[in-house]
């Protein structure tokens, strides 16, 4: 049996959960952080080395400014409150995405957090922030052209934000929505996808383990005839 190396998650449904349970989208985002802590713990327990969380897409800038500000503040306080714990638990933090649009203090915090944890080896936690797959691919092609290298699969992999990270074995999307929303389009070519009806704050340990278990029973053919 293959050891699973990489789980990617589109954490969707915070807003709807918030409206339904707390009458506020933002309180749904806050509640979603509890699920983040749970999946980090479970990923480690299952000896999975990479966890990628879609936290903010290139399209999410279209949201009301007040929600964006809330999300950025939440990110800032999450990092400040948890960086010691992440480091102590031997977790490496890596950002994928284009940070230039973020406030300088958040950029600095992310740089420091990545620097501080870069030698950690139990789990690599990739946070997708201002991440968009189309943006990532175009950026990679531009970099390759600038260096006058040949464009091929290996070279493209090398210039993506995810260089050095194995492609996800599974993608989980919560929130009862069956689409990829510009997430890891290249890297998900052969990933097993699980769409979960529950909203992200309601996603439990049992739901997570169910996805992992059903992955193990799926027949991955990679185009071969077996």
Site residues for ligand IPE per CB under 6 A: 10-16, 54-57, 60, 71, 175, 177, 179, 181
Q: Which does 168 bind (CB under 5 to 8 A by kind): Mg ion, ligand IPE, none?
A: none
Catalytic-labelled residue, pool 12, 169, 202, 207 = 12
CA distance 57 to 144: 24
Least separation in angstroms between residue 45's CB and ligand IPE is: 24
Edge to edge, the sheet with strand 91-96 lists: 91-96, 123-131, 50-57, 6-10, 170-173, 192-195
- Bridge pairing between strands 192-195 and 50-57: unpaired
Cβ closer to Mg ion: 15 or 97? 15
Say if CB 26 and CB 14 are below 8 A apart.
Answer: no
- Residue of the chain from 12, 136, 169, 192 that contacts Mg ion (CB under 5 A): 12
Which one of ligand IPE, Mg ion, none interacts with residue 215, CB within 5 to 8 A by kind? Answer: none
CB closer to ligand IPE out of 137 and 143: 137
Q: Residue written as tokens 């278990």?
A: 213
Catalytic, 167? Answer no
Q: Tell me whether residue 109 or residue 180 sits nearer to ligand IPE (CB atom).
A: 180
Looking at 2, 21, 60, 210, which residue is catalytic?
60
Per residue, the 3-state secondary structure of 141-155, as one string, reads: HHHHHHCCCCCCHHH
CB 176 within 8 A of CB 197: yes
Q: In the bound complex, what is the minimum distance in angstroms from residue 11's beta carbon to Mg ion?
A: 9
Element (H, E) at 58: none
Long-range interactions of 139-145: CB distance < 8 A, separation 24+:
139/98
Q: How far is the CB of 63 from Mg ion (least distance, A)?
A: 10
In the residue annotation, 12 being an active-site residue is answered as yes
Nearest alpha carbon to residue 137 among 114, 107, 158: 158
Question: What minimum distance in Å lies between the beta carbon of 28 and Mg ion?
Answer: 10
In the list Mg ion, ligand IPE, none, the entry touching 71 (Cβ below 5 to 8 angstroms by class) is ligand IPE
Question: What is the footprint of Mg ion within residues 123-152 (CB under 5 A)?
Answer: none
- Residues at the interface with Mg ion (CB under 5 A): 12
């Amino acid at each position: 049996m293959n050891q699973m190396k990489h789980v990617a998650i589109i954490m969707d449904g915070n807003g709807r959960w918030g409206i339904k349970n707390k009458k506020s989208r933002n309180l749904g985002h806050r509640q979603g952080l509890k699920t983040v802590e749970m999946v980090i713990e479970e990923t480690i327990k299952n000896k999975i080395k990479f966890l990628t969380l879609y936290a903010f897409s290139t399209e999410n800038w279209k949201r009301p400014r007040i929600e964006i500000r809330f999300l950025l503040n939440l990110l800032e306080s999450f990092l400040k409150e948890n960086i010691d714990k992440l480091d102590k638990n031997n977790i490496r933090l890596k950002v994928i995405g284009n940070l230039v649009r973020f406030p300088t203090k958040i950029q600095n915090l992310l740089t420091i957090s990545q620097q501080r944890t870069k030698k950690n080896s139990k789990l690599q936690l990739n946070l997708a922030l201002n991440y968009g797959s189309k943006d990532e691919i175009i950026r990679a092609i531009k970099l390759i052209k600038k260096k006058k290298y040949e464009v091929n699969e290996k070279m493209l992999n090398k210039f993506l934000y995810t260089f050095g990270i194995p492609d996800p074995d599974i993608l989980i999307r919560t929130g009862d929505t069956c689409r990829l929303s510009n997430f890891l389009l290249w890297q998900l070519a052969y990933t097993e996808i699980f769409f979960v009806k529950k909203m992200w704050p309601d996603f439990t340990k049992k739901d997570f383990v169910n996805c992992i278990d059903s992955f193990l029973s799926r027949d991955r053919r990679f185009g071969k005839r077996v």
